[in-house]
Amino acid sequence: MLTCSNISYRIKDKIIIDNISFNLKSGDHLLILGPSGSGKTTLLCLLAALTKPTSGNIEYDGCDVYELKPEERDKFRGKNLGIIFQNFHLIKSLNVYQNIALPAQMADGKIDSDQINYYLKELGLEDKSNQRISSLSVGQSQRLAVIRSFINKPKWILCDEPTSALDDDNTDKLLKLIKSEAKKNKASLIIVTHDKRVKSHFENNKIIEL
Amino acid sequence: MNLFTISTSYLSSRLQNSILNIVMMAAGIMLITILLLFGYQTQQRLTADSKGIDGVIGAKGSPLQLVLSTIYHIDIPTGNIDLKTASKIKKHPQIKQAIPISLGDSYKGFRIVGTDPSYIKHFKASFLKGSIWQDSMEAVVGYETAKNANLKLGDHFSGSHGLVQGGEIHGDESYKIVGILKPTKTVLDRLIITSLASVWDIHNHHEDEAHEEDHDHHDHEKEEIEEDREITALLIKYKNRMAAITFPRYINQNTNMQTASPSFEIARLIKLIGVGKDSVILFGSFLIILSLSSMLISLLNSVYQRRYDLAIFRTLGASRKKVFLIVIIEGMIISIIGSLIGLIAGHLAIEMIGNYSYKGAELGLTGFIFLPQIFILWAGILLLCLIICLIPAIRAYKTDIKEMLTHVA
């Protein structure tokens, strides 16, 4: 269960996030919708244990992440949170295999090569595991980025504008992939976006508008 | 995959830039390594060759030239001195030992030195094969000479006039090799040693030939030649320290000869070459500083260009320490590879100079020598690199992820 209680974030006198509260049960999905400059990415950073809120608490299964020491917080993030970025941001200097293995390496340094090979097979990228990211098509890159966020079997998936650069068809495909992977891994899903097309994939009571 | 793989992958993705940094680092360290190896071995060689020799008495001229030609055998002698006077000097109460040296001929570039057995004893040399000469035209060869000129015990060879290759060959007179010396790591290894009588006999024979038709004067002139025999120099050792001050003054003021002090002349020579050596060290240091600056700029650029990558690493669970380490590893990979290539290239260059250059071989240069000061320098440069890497690493450590993600979003 994710519990956000009265979280606010200010820079000097400017209020970026103002007193937001919500709960998200395990396996549930939540869409946070808002226009550019409404503080969506800031909210994602707060939820991802990257930036401490000015006030309020964020608890994952009763654990206040900002009460943890910085090292422990990094470890918590690596093991429990999967993050999908706008433009997917794969690491160009690493090959396909290394990009998938990256979260495992960053979180605790333990890489399960069987699991990685399984995902490579699922993505149809077995023969490209040693190739650079630049050799992948846009679709392959999208799927790789999604799978990368699930590699540590996180309990919560945070997505930052995952569909902003995609057409309707690809938006639909990507959201279906994210949701199905979340379901497979029994992970809760939070999508932060300004893209109203995403709204149709969520039930009305699971949408917060900023 | 580990942090090292992540760093090497990034470096290989920017191969040209990485190679440039490595080459600059290697060039600077190679130059300094060459200089340190050359300077150390030259100094060792100069010290070993002149050990136990307090002075050289020879014809007037440049004292440095006298020392270089008679002790180190790398220059042309200033002239000859009268044997009769030299014999008197040998008996002087301030002189403990005087070794006569007579130069003039060579074989395949190896100098033929006319002397007496005390010259070989002076270097504490022992025989690998054979023994000392008993008669005129018998010679003993140094270890390197035998190896490089392919001379064996019992071989005969004819010397050529002059101290470098290409002189007129004394074809009628040939030396017989009666001994080969064990290596001494001194100039003796690259010489051919014979009796003074052999050198005189060769040159008297030539003068005889010149006067062959003038039979009436032949016997008379031969006697004159015996009387007027000359040598090139006397290598002397004083009985006491006072002699080192008074004796050279006595020789310089009362005879047409001079006394040169090897230690003084070599100190002067080193001081002279020191200017050039300092310039090369300065240039090498400049290259290293340039490479360190280039590495710093390159790492700062890479941290700037990859700020989003580094932010991604953090969001994937990497601690600040891990991100810091990735940048440090990148810098240290360049530094370690560059400096190792520089060290190896420096040693190889000296080995090649020692093997393929005549002068290098003469100095006995080798690259297979490991000086502690080079490793101290290497460790110092690596430490400096580490300090330099700290700047971009701290910048990576302090990366504000929220700002980065917000900015890109």
3-class SS of residue A75: helix
Report helix angle B3-13 to B15-50, nearest 10: 100
CA-based nearest distance B307→chain A, Å: 12
* Burial B300-314, CB ≥16 within 10 A → b, else e: eebbeebbbbbbbbb
Instruction: Tell me if B190 sits within 8 A of B147, measured CB to CB.
Output: no
Instruction: Tell me if B154 sits within 8 A of B109, measured CB to CB.
Output: no
> Beta strand A29-33 with A207-209: parallel, antiparallel or unpaired?
parallel
User: Residue B39: CB partners within 8 Å, gap ≥ 6?
Assistant: B277
Q: In what order do the strands lie in the sheet with A55-60?
A: A14-24, A2-11, A55-60, A63-64
Q: Which residues of B touch A (CB under 8 A)?
A: 1-3, 5-6, 9-10, 12-14, 308-309, 312-322, 401-402, 405-406, 408-409
User: Residue A92: CB partners within 8 Å, gap ≥ 6?
Assistant: A132, A133, A134, B13
8 Å CB contact of B319 and A75:
yes
8 Å CB contact of B320 and A74:
yes
Nearest residue, CB atoms, B10 vs list A77, A85, A93: A93
- On whether the pTM is more than 0.80, the answer is no
Report helix angle A96-107 to A113-123, nearest 10: 140
**Least CA distance to A88: which residue of chain B?**
B312
User: Residue B370: CB partners within 8 Å, gap ≥ 6?
Assistant: none
> How distant, in Å, are the alpha carbons of A5, B76, B217, B229, B300 from that of B257?
104, 16, 31, 16, 67
> How distant, in Å, are the alpha carbons of A29, A32, A157, A193, B198 from that of A199?
12, 9, 17, 10, 110
Q: Name the average pLDDT for chain A.
A: 87
8 Å CB contact of A41 and B322:
no
* Separation between Cα atoms, residue B226 and residue B90, nearest integer Å: 19
3-class SS of residue B306: coil
* Separation between Cα atoms, residue B17 and residue B298, nearest integer Å: 8
Instruction: Note the pLDDT of residue B102.
Output: 93
**Number of Cβ atoms within 10 Å of the Cβ of B332:** 16
Question: What does the DSSP assignment read for B44-75?
Answer: HHHHHHHTT--EEEEESS-HHHHHIIIII--S
8 Å CB contact of A78 and B313:
no
**Least CA distance to B12: which residue of chain A?**
A93
- Of B370, B336, B337, B365, give the one whose Cα is nearest residue B349: B365
Give, as one character, the DSSP assignment of residue A94.
S
**Number of Cβ atoms within 10 Å of the Cβ of B16:** 7
A108 contact residues in B (CB cutoff 8 A): 317
Q: How many helices (DSSP H) and strands (DSSP E) are in chain B? A: 15, 13
CA-based nearest distance B309→chain A, Å: 7
Lowest mean pLDDT among A105-109, A121-125, A185-189, B226-230: B226-230
Nearest residue, CB atoms, A74 vs list B3, B319, B402: B319
8 Å CB contact of A89 and B312:
yes
Instruction: Tell me if B384 sits within 8 A of B322, measured CB to CB.
Output: no
B10 contact residues in A (CB cutoff 8 A): 93
User: Residue B156: CB partners within 8 Å, gap ≥ 6?
Assistant: B174, B175, B176, B177
Token pair recorded at residue B33:
């390594």
CA-based nearest distance B324→chain A, Å: 13
Nearest residue, CB atoms, B401 vs list A50, A70, A101: A50
Region A73-87: what's the mean pLDDT?
Answer: 86
CA-based nearest distance A70→chain B, Å: 8
**Least CA distance to B403: which residue of chain A?**
A42
Whats the size of chain A, residue-wise? 210
* Separation between Cα atoms, residue A46 and residue A42, nearest integer Å: 6
- Top pLDDT among B272 and A154 is at A154
B308 contact residues in A (CB cutoff 8 A): 89
8 Å CB contact of A74 and B318:
yes
A111 contact residues in B (CB cutoff 8 A): 1
* Burial B163-178, CB ≥16 within 10 A → b, else e: beeeeeebeebebebb
Give, as one character, the DSSP assignment of residue B101.
E
Q: Give Dmax over CA atoms of chain A in angstroms.
A: 54
Ordered domains of chain A (ranges, CATH): 2-209 (3.40.50.300)
B398 contact residues in A (CB cutoff 8 A): none
- Of B72, B55, B147, B134, give the one whose Cα is nearest residue B108: B147
**Least CA distance to A130: which residue of chain B?**
B9
3-class SS of residue A207: strand
Instruction: Tell me if B102 sits within 8 A of B126, measured CB to CB.
Output: no
A48 contact residues in B (CB cutoff 8 A): 315
CA-based nearest distance A110→chain B, Å: 9
* Neighbour-count burial of B241, counting CB atoms closer than 10 A to its CB (0-12 exposed, 13-18 middle, 19+ buried): exposed
pLDDT in tens, chain B (409 residues): 788 888 898 888 888 988 988 898 898 889 889 988 988 888 888 888 888 899 999 999 999 999 999 998 888 899 999 888 888 888 889 999 999 999 988 998 899 999 999 999 999 999 999 999 999 899 999 998 999 899 999 999 988 887 666 667 766 778 999 999 999 988 999 999 999 999 888 766 555 555 554 555 555 555 555 557 889 999 999 998 888 889 999 888 888 899 999 989 888 887 877 667 777 778 778 878 887 888 788 888 877 888 888 888 888 888 888 889 998 998 899 889 999 999 999 999 999 998 888 777 777 788 999 999 899 988 998 998 899 889 888 888 887 777 776 655 4
Instruction: Tell me if B35 sits within 8 A of B350, measured CB to CB.
Output: no
Instruction: Note the pLDDT of residue B317.
Output: 82
Q: How many CB pairs under 8 A join A and B?
A: 91
**Least CA distance to A165: which residue of chain B?**
B409
A70 contact residues in B (CB cutoff 8 A): 319-320
The CA-CA-CA angle for residues A111, A113, A118, to 5°, reads 130
* Neighbour-count burial of B29, counting CB atoms closer than 10 A to its CB (0-12 exposed, 13-18 middle, 19+ buried): buried
Token pair recorded at residue B328:
């440090």
**Least CA distance to A93: which residue of chain B?**
B10
Radius of gyration of chain A (CA): 17
* Neighbour-count burial of B245, counting CB atoms closer than 10 A to its CB (0-12 exposed, 13-18 middle, 19+ buried): exposed
Instruction: Note the pLDDT of residue B409.
Output: 45
Q: Which residues of A touch B (CB under 8 A)?
A: 40-42, 44-45, 48, 50-51, 70-71, 74-75, 77-79, 83, 85-87, 89, 91-95, 97-98, 101-103, 105-109, 111, 152, 160-161
**Least CA distance to B2: which residue of chain A?**
A105
